[in-house]
Amino acid sequence: MSTVSIAAYVYGMVQGVGFRFATQHQATGLGLTGYARNLEDGSVEVVASGEQEKVDKLLAWLKEGGPKHARVDRVLSEPTAPGHYSDFKIKY
């Protein structure tokens, strides 16, 4: 199977609610690599690499609202070049 990679930008109440940790848990459970990090504008950037079906599942979870304490208003995503990640990390 080929590896695909996306960069997703999640907007809403997504900082200070465990969003990055929950995203890491979801991504790791799907066997994806990449990272999640807070951006200065209040959004969260998620870069995920792996099998297409699994990346699609993570993206659907993000669009559905992520963890229960978050409020996702919108998710913008785009394909990106696969990075060389060994696991899924939280970047600070």
Active site (catalytic) residues: 20, 38
Query: What is the per-residue pLDDT for 88?
Result: 98
pTM: 0.96
pLDDT at 1 over 80: no
Task: Specify the pairing of strand 33-38 against strand 88-91.
Answer: parallel
15, amino acid identity: Q
Question: In this predicted model, what pLDDT tens digit does every residue of 13-48 receive, in sequence order?
Answer: 999 999 999 999 999 999 999 999 999 999 999 999
Domain range 3-90, CATH class = alpha beta
Query: What is the per-residue pLDDT for 63?
Result: 97
The domain segmentation of the chain, as residue ranges, is 3-90
Are the C-beta atoms of 44 and 20 separated by less than 8 Å? Answer: yes
